Amino acid sequence: MKNSTPKIKKNTGYEEVIAIIERARENAFRAVNRELITMYWEIGRYVSEKVAAENWGKSVVQEFSRFIQSHFVGIKGFSPQNIWRMKQFYDTYAQNEKLSPLVREISWTNNVLIMMAAKSDEEREFYLLLSTKNNYSKRELERQIDSSLYERTMVSTEKYLPIIHRNAGLTALRDSYVLEFLDIPEHHREKELRKAIIANMRDFILEFGKDFSFIGEEYRIQVGNTDFHIDLLFYNRELSCLVAIDLKIGRFKPEHLGQLEFYLEALDSNVKKQNENPSVGLILCAKKDDEVVEYALRRSMSPALIAEYQTHLPNKELLTNKLRELRELAEAEEMEDEEK
């Protein structure tokens, strides 16, 4: 018996309908999620007010939990622990008009992760905006928090603020990257590093940002009669530009920057499209001396940055202390300038 299901030809133009359906499903999911978060917010407000006015404690909240679950048989998410989290959720954001709308754009699970991990409104805003923009799953958000993405991003911004202002494209890059997912030996070759990145491209792009799209490894560019190869080439959708990454397993040397600038010039001359912005470069090295980096970049007009990679999760406390030191130094410099 022949299959009566009609075969659909490729490139029929039906893809537009698929996009319409997927967009509608996404909008419906977001609408349901906003209602769910609003419900948790209102329950949190109710419990918070009862605690303040009537001294509700553990026993009353347990009774409250049993009442809800008996009224809605089979309903989940209303254990005493979750009800206390709803109260904490409301108390955390109730007085913050800037952040309270953001919590409705992400899932309850991700809200709880951020609420438990973040220590300041600034950190909460960072992860709320990032989760909304990238539509992070629970696993992806956990990985970003565990890798101290907030602290690493802030340290990078504080250290390279003048460079970032001069080259707006560098805001998509950071001072350090964590590649703990590569599972490579401590002593490795550049080829091993590159191949491990290719084999773990999904996690690599998660670390760099979902706006990065991979173009190729050892990307060939020809200048005159000579071929050159860029270790990794990406395209960044938000910046509308090519991003060249040069891998170095040792310490950064000033001559590395000259090589990268040559690659960027070749990309802009021979590969970049007219509607795209100038290419951006990143030297990803195992070690670097910040003073050497500063001297190397001081006269460079190319949109390039030098970043360190590590193959293990960073020490969050050390990063927090480093960020505090940088901010205290910046404040002291501002005070000196005002006194002059």
The answer to whether the CB of 115 falls within 8 A of the CB of 128 is no
Total Cβ atoms within 10 A of residue 184: 17
Dist. CA 10–CA 30, nearest whole Å: 31
| Residue-level pLDDT at 5 | 52
Neighbour count for residue 267 (Cβ, 10 Å): 23
d(CA 124, CA 33): 19
**pLDDT, tens digit, for every residue of 5-37?**
555 555 566 878 888 888 898 889 889 999 999
Sorted by where each starts, the structural domains of the chain and their CATH numbers stand as 15-146 (no CATH), 150-328 (3.40.1350.10)
E strand map for 77-121: none
Which residues make Cβ contacts (< 8 Å) with residue 62, sequence separation at least 6?
80
Output the pLDDT for position 170: 63
**Per residue in 171-212, pLDDT tens?**
678 888 999 999 899 899 999 999 999 999 999 999 999 899
The pLDDT of residue 87 is 98
Model pLDDT for residues 204-258, shown as the tens digit of each residue: 999 999 899 999 999 999 999 999 999 999 999 988 999 999 999 999 999 999 9
Residue 99 has pLDDT above 50, yes or no: yes
Residue 208 has a CB neighbour count (10 Å cut-off) of 20
- C-alpha pair distances (Å), 145 with each of 106, 110, 180, 202, 288: 16, 11, 14, 17, 24
> Cβ(141)–Cβ(273) under 8 Å?
no
- CB 80, CB 58: distance < 8 Å: yes
How much is the pLDDT for 158? 67
272 exposed, middle or buried (CB, 10 Å; 0-12, 13-18, 19+)? middle
Q: What is the pLDDT of residue 300?
A: 84
- Bridge partners (DSSP) of residue 161 are none
Q: Token pair of 243, please?
A: 């991003």
Average confidence score pLDDT of the chain: 90
| CA 117 from centre of chain | 15
Q: Poorest-confidence range of 85-89, 226-230, 322-326?
A: 322-326
pLDDT mean over 132-136:
92
Q: Are 123 and 150 in contact (CB under 8 A)?
A: yes
In this prediction, residue 161 has a pLDDT band, given cuts at 50, 70 and 90, of very low
Determine which helix (DSSP H) or strand (DSSP E) holds 308, and give its type and residue range: strand 304-310
Place of tokens 């927090």: 320
